[in-house]
Structure 1
Amino acid sequence: MAELSESEITPRFKPSVFFGSIGLIGILIVYAVLNASNADKVFGAIQAGATSTFGWLLILTVNVLLVFCGILAFSKLGRIRLGGDDAAPEFDTGAWFAMLFSAGMGIGLMFYGVAEPVLHFANPPVSALSNPGATTARGLADNAQMSMGVTFLHWGLHAWAIYAVIALGLAYASFNKRLPLSIGAFLEIAFPKIPTIVIDLIDVLAITATVCGVATSLGIGASQVNAGLSIIAGVPDTSLVKFVIIFVITCLASISVGLGLNTGIKWLSEINMGLAALLALFVLVAGPTVFILNGFIQNIGYYLQHFIYLSSWTETYTGGHWQGDWTIFYYAWWISWSPFVGVFIARISYGRTVREFIAGVLLVPSLVTFLWFTIFGDTALHIELFGAGGLAEAVNNSMPDALFAFLGHFPLTPIVSGLAILIITTFFVTSADSGALVTAMIASGGNHEAGLASRLTWAAAMGLLAAALLWAGGLSALQTAAIVTGLPFAIVLLLMAAGLYKMLHAEFPAGMRVVGRTTAED
């Protein structure tokens, strides 16, 4: 494959990409603010239409990407090192895991850790793996097990495969081919015949998807922080309070992104991972410890046993709408996050081999996520099955309240709830500052050190969009934004997988074999 000249590989600011993205996001903000009374209905109709018509595309896409990751990891291509044979990792393994995990999941784990397993248990989907309406002990146990299996599906290998493919493609193109860290630059060299205007439109889509995906997380995080402050301090649960929370977090994120990757973002990522581990350890020790440990093993076994069925289930014969609110939303949300998380993970993964990269990005975060959901989800289910109960009703009434209603069953509730609010806030800031950095990088043509003014601009845009969508339609508007931007970007991800395989395979022409980290004639 021909190398680009030095002038071609230099990151270039593209006014069409920057102003096109700002304009599109500005239109979304203005529409949401000026049409708040009608926006909720519009967003709901768009979400229903998109999920019912194109849900199959998202399910197919994430399965293809996961299989693709497995092919790369177990093939000779897995020995290629990002940055060349002599490249050494820029960050130690612990810092690498902390940053990629905080950027990849963060707020979602705090919001859904209790809520999702309990909601699936109380409102199971109509499938062969659940017993809707069951009241017998066996039926309730089946629903509890199914709820954990479906939660693992949403947060496990499929989600991280999306991130792994885009991140690996960008990292290889940047560190091995000396291209800017940009989706457009990757596609230009992988598919030279794609018109420039299409490349620019894809970059605009990537930026818009990133801003909408992070804004969705910011809105969810603000709702949960407000719920916690309401429970432990009597702060009113209102839109105004949520706007203030978003404003404060956006300001903190601006400070963090101004400090840069090696200071603000890295430092915050390590802090919030440490605090999250402390909270999980508290629940593990103070909760039904043996039940949790047994559940962790059984949940993984159930997930693996039903993996193919769960991965390909589309509600074809039941005609339900459950997947639109859950599986399809999650896949679209992960895809809308993928430009942000992909560029960020690529940026911090210099020096890793392809195999090490896939194992680190795919397996380790999935196992940590499974452990988190088992600790919080199985403890919540234990309360429902064998304890005082009441969590299902609380979660059905208000998802943002779920975590704090759950912590009310533990000692030191005010202290632990305060710790939870602090963790949500730090995850909140980490998502916003990482998103602002990455968006600035994409808008500047892949410049690793995008300017401060650009980073602050995108941090403000994310905060404004999150506030506008909450004003217009609450969580449903946030979900719609993620789904609408995630759907078209699924096609881009499939293109990137094809382009990445093409570029990696060029490392080993016919008649060559892998010897260590180099090639030799057969």
Structure 2
Amino acid sequence: MTIIISLSISSYVLINPELSAMQLNSLYQLAAKFFESAFQYGSLLLVAFLLMFALSKKGAITIKLTAKDEYPFFTWIMMLFAAGMGASIMFWSPIEWAYYLNEPPFGLENFSREHFAFARTYSNFHWGLTGWAIFCLPALAFAISLNKKPDSKLTFSGIFFHQTHSNLLRLFGWLLDLIFILSIISGAGIAIGLSFPLIAQIFSSVLSIEATPWFEGAILLLCLAIFTTSVALGLNKGIKRLSQVNIFLIVNLLLFVLFFGPTQQIFHYSLESLGILVTYFIRMSTYTGDSFVQNWTVFYWAWWMALAPFVGAFIVNISNGKTLRQLIFGTIFMGAIGCMLHFMILGNYSFILYENNILDIPQLIDDGQSNQAIIQILETLPGGNLPLILYGIVMIIFLCTTYDSCVYVLASSSMKSMSHSPDVFIRIIFALILVIQPALFLVVDGLEVTKNILLLCSIPLLGIFLAMMIYSVKHASADE
């Protein structure tokens, strides 16, 4: 069924790309205006709910999974961060602030000091506590479900309709799993839509080779080879090792930028952004009726929500032996800190380049040269091509860990019980499907298409997330 759904979405876009893109964009604008309050207030409510849940007696419940390994805390953090973020953060962290210069929030004067400060701060808001709370809720619901029903499927129907004998409920469960699959496809499409072209351009620049379709195809095959090998090796030998290598590389990359860049200014802007974030967090979380919110904040909450089913399912897969309190605090706070460090270092470094008239990043963005902007930012660092090469390698591994996790969850959802690991052949089939699917979207400028599909797929998740909150409170027993 997953194969049919995937091919159907591809066919719909490819048959008439211009018409489908126009229709999807119109639907996005309508949906963003109508549901902005639900996304904003609902996400804030979710943060409060999870923190209260973790601090309650229910937070002490231990996650007990059948035939699953227990991972040390730091290995666990590395795996969940690598799966949750992927290469997308490497695209957005150096340049996201520049996108916000055309739409100042809160009616701020355009290009004022306050506007620049909020542009830098909003990146930390969009990639911080709220986003990781959205990731955390499905993980919490899956963990509680598996504690109660160890043989249930790792899908929405596995939570709500395990072993039902009602045909009507089975149909409803099938619809929930359809939403589960569509959200994974749309979230995965955005990831590769942002990442793959940048990876190709980075290595094109390093090798001084024109980024022809043949070159891009070779880069895609390289990613596919790493990706499929890791998927075949499974969690311990594949995703775990890739995550450990990549966290080592990204820490060194961030330290390199921090200490070889304008360190004092980076620290200054980072502290300023944190201060604004703490002061204005509630206002930013309840701000509605503005195109900035509809085009950015709603998009980001929808993106996190679309990715949440597979990220949450993956997180619970690696959380055997952890308490629900550890699951919540580890996911929300460690995930948010990891993301915010990227924006504080890479984002503030690039802003300083702009502020000192070294590189006009907003103009490159306006000219549609986002990837070139990132490359030129990295070229200002010492070390020749070393920062570019390291950046490209980190992106490839991030892309692979995200897709590995995605494939593992999709393959697991095809199993009748969580106690069985998905077959290697099934994992490889899903790996091929999820690489081909977004690659087809790239042919028709799929970034905007997948962005629009993503929001539309996320709307039903609003109700499902509310149901998971109710389920978690009702079925988590402090006596476990």
Tell me whether 1:281 sits opposite 2:260 in the alignment: no
The CA deviation string for residues 361-405 of structure 1, in whole angstroms up to 9 with x for no partner, is 001111121121100111111112235232222233322233212
Cross-structure match for 1:131: 109
> 1:175, 1:350 within 8 Å by CA — same for their partners in 2?
no
SS of residue paired to 1:326: helix
SS of residue paired to 2:444: helix
Cross-structure match for 1:295: 269
Equivalents in 1 of 2:92, 2:435: separation in Å? 21
Q: 1:183 aligns with which of 149, 152, 156?
A: 156
Cross-structure match for 1:100: 80
Cross-structure match for 1:454: 426
Equivalents in 2 of 1:53, 1:244: separation in Å? 43
Equivalents in 2 of 1:246, 1:324: separation in Å? 33
SS of residue paired to 1:413: coil
The CA deviation string for residues 340-372 of structure 1, in whole angstroms up to 9 with x for no partner, is 101000000111112121110001111121121
Tell me whether 1:418 sits opposite 2:418 in the alignment: no
Cross-structure match for 1:14: none
Equivalents in 2 of 1:261, 1:40: separation in Å? 37
TM-score, normalized by length of structure 2?
A: 0.93
SS of residue paired to 2:70: coil
Deviation at 1:260, TM superposition (A): 0.5
Q: 2:129 aligns with which of 157, 160, 171?
A: 157
Equivalents in 2 of 1:238, 1:486: separation in Å? 35
> 1:83, 1:172 within 8 Å by CA — same for their partners in 2?
no
The CA deviation string for residues 157-211 of structure 1, in whole angstroms up to 9 with x for no partner, is 1110011111011122214542423321111269998811111111121022112
Q: 2:95 aligns with which of 86, 106, 115?
A: 115
The residue type equivalent to 2:20 in the other structure is A
Deviation at 1:52, TM superposition (A): 2.5
Equivalents in 2 of 1:189, 1:30: separation in Å? 33
The CA deviation string for residues 383-438 of structure 1, in whole angstroms up to 9 with x for no partner, is 12235232222233322233212112111231110111111111111111111111
Equivalents in 1 of 2:68, 2:453: separation in Å? 39
Taking the TM superposition and a 5 Å limit, the aligned residue runs for 1:55-70 are 55-70=36-51
Cross-structure match for 1:361: 331
Cross-structure match for 1:215: 189
Cross-structure match for 2:179: 205
Which deviates further from its counterpart, 302-311 or 408-417? 408-417
Tell me whether 1:466 sits opposite 2:466 in the alignment: no
Cross-structure match for 2:170: 196
Q: 2:410 aligns with which of 431, 439, 452?
A: 439
> 1:117, 1:147 within 8 Å by CA — same for their partners in 2?
yes
> 2:408, 2:427 within 8 Å by CA — same for their partners in 1?
yes
Distance change (3 Å), C-alpha of 1:248 and 1:445: farther
Equivalents in 2 of 1:115, 1:273: separation in Å? 21
Q: 2:454 aligns with which of 482, 504, 513?
A: 482
Gap regions ≥5 residues in structure 1:
1-18, 509-517
Which deviates further from its counterpart, 294-303 or 282-291? 294-303
Cross-structure match for 1:166: 138
Cross-structure match for 2:355: 385
Equivalents in 2 of 1:89, 1:454: separation in Å? 21
The residue type equivalent to 1:131 in the other structure is E
SS of residue paired to 1:310: helix
> 1:440, 1:455 within 8 Å by CA — same for their partners in 2?
yes
Equivalents in 2 of 1:401, 1:167: separation in Å? 37
Between the aligned residues of both structures, percent identity stands at: 25
Equivalents in 1 of 2:275, 2:294: separation in Å? 26
Cross-structure match for 1:306: 280
Paired residues in the alignment total 475
Cross-structure match for 1:409: 380
The residue type equivalent to 2:34 in the other structure is T
The CA deviation string for residues 410-469 of structure 1, in whole angstroms up to 9 with x for no partner, is 112311101111111111111111111111111224535112222122212211210121
The CA deviation string for residues 23-59 of structure 1, in whole angstroms up to 9 with x for no partner, is 2221111122232343332332232232223233222
The CA deviation string for residues 300-340 of structure 1, in whole angstroms up to 9 with x for no partner, is 121010000101111x2xxx433333211111111111111
> 1:117, 1:377 within 8 Å by CA — same for their partners in 2?
yes
Deviation at 1:105, TM superposition (A): 0.9
Q: 2:4 aligns with which of 23, 36, 50?
A: 23
> 2:104, 2:115 within 8 Å by CA — same for their partners in 1?
no
The residue type equivalent to 2:90 in the other structure is M
Distance change (3 Å), C-alpha of 1:461 and 1:409: same
Equivalents in 2 of 1:163, 1:76: separation in Å? 22
Equivalents in 1 of 2:472, 2:163: separation in Å? 8
Which deviates further from its counterpart, 67-76 or 333-342? 67-76
Equivalents in 1 of 2:260, 2:68: separation in Å? 42
Equivalents in 1 of 2:139, 2:270: separation in Å? 29
> 1:89, 1:352 within 8 Å by CA — same for their partners in 2?
no
Distance change (3 Å), C-alpha of 1:58 and 1:205: same
The CA deviation string for residues 231-277 of structure 1, in whole angstroms up to 9 with x for no partner, is 33344445665455334323321111110101011111111111111
Tell me whether 1:271 sits opposite 2:251 in the alignment: no
Equivalents in 2 of 1:65, 1:153: separation in Å? 15
The residue type equivalent to 2:342 in the other structure is W
TM-score, normalized by length of structure 1?
A: 0.86
Which deviates further from its counterpart, 344-353 or 458-467? 458-467
Equivalents in 2 of 1:482, 1:78: separation in Å? 32
Deviation at 1:221, TM superposition (A): 1.0
